[in-house]
Amino acid sequence: MSNKTDSKVKLDKIDIRILHDLQEDGRMTNVELAKRAGISAPPCLRRVRALEESGFINGFHADINARAMGYNVTVFAHVGLASQAETDLEAFEELVRSWPEVRECHMLAGETDFLLKVVAEDWESYQEFLTTKLTAAENVSHVKSALSVRTSKSMPGVPIEVK
Output 10-13 pairs: Cβ under 8 A, ≥24 positions apart. Answer: 11/56, 13/162, 13/163
Helix axes of 30-37 and 41-53: crossing angle, nearest 10 degrees: 100
- Tell me the pTM: 0.87
Helix axes of 30-37 and 13-24: crossing angle, nearest 10 degrees: 140
Domain with CATH 3.30.70.920 in the chain: 73-147
117 sits in which H/E element:
strand 114-120
Compare 163 and 135 and report the one with higher pLDDT.
Answer: 135
How confident is the model over 118-125, as a mean pLDDT? 98
Domain with CATH 1.10.10.10 in the chain: 13-53
Phi-psi region of 110 (alpha: psi -120 to 50; beta: other; left: phi over 0): left
Q: What is the topology classification, in CATH, of domain 13-53?
A: Arc Repressor Mutant, subunit A (1.10.10)
pLDDT per residue as tens digits for the range 108-119: 999 999 999 999
- Spell out the CATH class of 73-147: alpha beta
Q: How far apart are CA 40 and CA 30, in angstroms?
A: 9
Contact 78, 146 (CB under 8 A): yes
pLDDT band at 2 (very low <50, low <70, confident <90, very high): very low
pLDDT band at 127 (very low <50, low <70, confident <90, very high): very high
According to DSSP, the residues that pair with 75 across neighbouring strands are 118, 147
pLDDT of residue 7: 56
